[in-house]
Amino acid sequence: MGRMKLRIAALMIPVAIGVVLFAGRRRGVGDGPYAREVADAVPRIEEATGMKFKRPPRVEARDKAQVRDFLLKKFDEATPAKELAGEESAYKLLGLLPDTLDLRKFFLAVLTEQVIGYYDPATKVLYVVKGADEKTVGITITHELVHALQDQYVNLDSMQKTTSDNDRLSAAQAVIEGQAQFEQLSIMVGGSSNIALRVGGRDRIREMIRDNQSAMPVFATAPMVIQESLLFPYLSGADFVQRFKEKKGKANPLANVPRSTEQILHTDAYFGTPPDEPSIITLPAPRGATSVYENDMGEFGARLFLYQHLKNEQVAARSAVGWDGDRFVVVQNSAGRGIVWASVWDSTLEAAAFLDAMVRATTKRTGMAERLEAAGGATIRPKGRTITIFPRIINGRAVVLYSDLPDGMSGVIDPAAIKVDPH
């Protein structure tokens, strides 16, 4: 869920992790506007990352209303309404969001739930809310100063402006946030490089954040897919950065950013020789319908679909192994809206495992039994719709083709016209 603006919408996540894990650890506050926190954090960040600030970071204090208004403006600039509406439609068609949810309204509520500070790559300024709780200010400044340092070596804005490849965007955001999260936690626990062991593991952190719902009531009410998408760059990203540091030392992880969430999730996919680059799927223009929105899910998105409907995280993760690329399109005609989703897999065995999990997930979601087809796929017919899940061999590659279309719409994507290009 790459265009969920993780960089903006999840401002409370790094602070929540720090507060939940290290509540009561105080950071001094100097006489100037956070001068002592900045002076304390800068050398620690430089030592941890092996990168020096090319120029002193700028930190300015603003009242909460000013920071909130600024962030709302940035959200609207970074998230075009048409694009957000397209993603909202796709995720509702996949059963990942309630039909009644207004995604933009919900994200603005999340965004304004906890406004503490934010580094803006456009102005090169870290804005911090006046009068914020001192134990959260130190955490926020350390985290956001890592972003200020990153921005002196790479262009953070340009890295987060792709609109046609959500998976690649999610991977980039995971490195950006993961490095800041890892170094923030490492500094807080005294420079330990093994954060996962020190804090009890990624799953434990996630549980602790959820248990601390009183601090984040809006986040606590978010659908699973939103919660997991907001947590992904901080937790899975920090896991990736820890592995990167173990293998590459103090090299800059942003110098060669992963191209997929698969590379974030699996060590060999990124560090292997050669790395496992995602294949590119090109869908043909729909027949008898209009394309409303097109993008990809990535391995992480495929996991979330299965996790949402099977309610088993381990099965979801196992069934998404072997992902090698995907593309979906939301289509519309007078009959209504539908979605077609094609995914390519490393082997026919892994494609079959994903197909089987997709069938089970869809029958649970709809409450309807599947009709097994001679071609090895399945057809499921909830009221007013037809869902088909079929294996295909395209350009010699194993593909799973999923479609959920309203009655009166069929054959909108010609499987023979789908192209699968190697990485």
Write the pLDDT tens digit of every residue in 251-263.
999 999 999 999 9
Which among 271, 306, 333 is the end of a domain? 271
Q: Residue 231 — pLDDT band, cuts 50, 70, 90? A: confident
Cα distance between residue 306 and residue 227, in whole Å: 15
C-alpha distances (whole Å) from 346 to each of 52, 315, 318, 377, 393 are 41, 18, 14, 19, 12
Is the pLDDT confidence value at 6 over 80? no
How far, in Å, CA of 358 to CA of 365, rounded?
A: 10
Looking at the structure, do residues 203 and 308 belong to the same domain, yes or no?
no
**Mean pLDDT over residues 346-368, rounded?**
97
pLDDT at 114 over 90: no
Query: Where a domain ends, among 223, 248, 271?
Result: 271
Report how far apart, in Å, the C-alpha atoms of 385 and of each of 34, 338, 366, 408, 415 are. Answer: 58, 9, 11, 9, 20
Domain co-membership, 265 together with 319: no
Please report how many Cα atoms fall inside a 13 Å half-sphere around the Cα of residue 74, on the Cβ side.
22
Structural domain that includes position 386: 280-421
| pLDDT (mean) for 231-253 | 92
Closest to 259 (Cα-Cα) out of 317, 151, 172: 172
Same domain, 236 and 382: no
- Specify the pLDDT at position 271: 97
Same domain assignment for residues 81 and 175: yes
Pairwise CA distance, residues 349 & 352, whole Å:
5
d(CA 267, CA 282): 27
Judgement on whether residues 302 and 406 belong to the same structural domain of the protein: yes
Share of the chain above pLDDT 90, in %: 59
Predicted local distance difference test score (pLDDT) of residue 66: 86
Domain CATH number, residue 372: 3.40.1000
Q: Which two tokens stand for residue 77?
A: 């600039």
- Confidence at residue 24, expressed as pLDDT on a 0 to 100 scale: 40
CB atoms within 10 A of CB 286: 22
pLDDT tens digits for range 200-217: 455 666 666 666 656 678
The pLDDT score that the predictor gives to residue 3 is 45
Of the three residues 239, 271, 303, the one that is the final residue of a domain is 271
| In a shared domain, residues 298 and 250 | no
Least confident of 52-56, 81-85, 215-219, 315-319: 215-219
Are 294 and 243 in the same domain? no
**pTM of the predicted model over 0.85:** yes
Domain count along the chain: 2
Identify the band that residue 338 occupies on the pLDDT scale cut at 50, 70 and 90: very high
Burial of 402 (C-beta count, 10 Å sphere; 0-12/13-18/19+): buried
Residues 238 and 288 in one domain: no
Of the candidates 53, 66, 67, 108, the one whose C-alpha atom is nearest the C-alpha of residue 84 is: 108
Lowest mean pLDDT: which of 2-16, 177-191, 213-227?
A: 2-16
Please determine, for residue 291, whether its predicted confidence score (pLDDT) is greater than 60: yes
pLDDT at 1: 55
- Give Cα separations from 29 to 26, 32, 35, 136, 138 (angstroms): 9, 8, 8, 11, 8
What is the pLDDT of the chain when averaged over all its residues?
86
Same domain, 360 and 409: yes
Same domain, 402 and 343: yes
pLDDT of residue 135: 72
DSSP H or E segment with residue 328: strand 323-333
Q: Are residues 197 and 294 in the same domain?
A: no
Distance CA 420, CA 264 (A): 22
Q: Quick check: 335 pLDDT over 50?
A: yes
Q: Same domain for 213 and 245?
A: yes
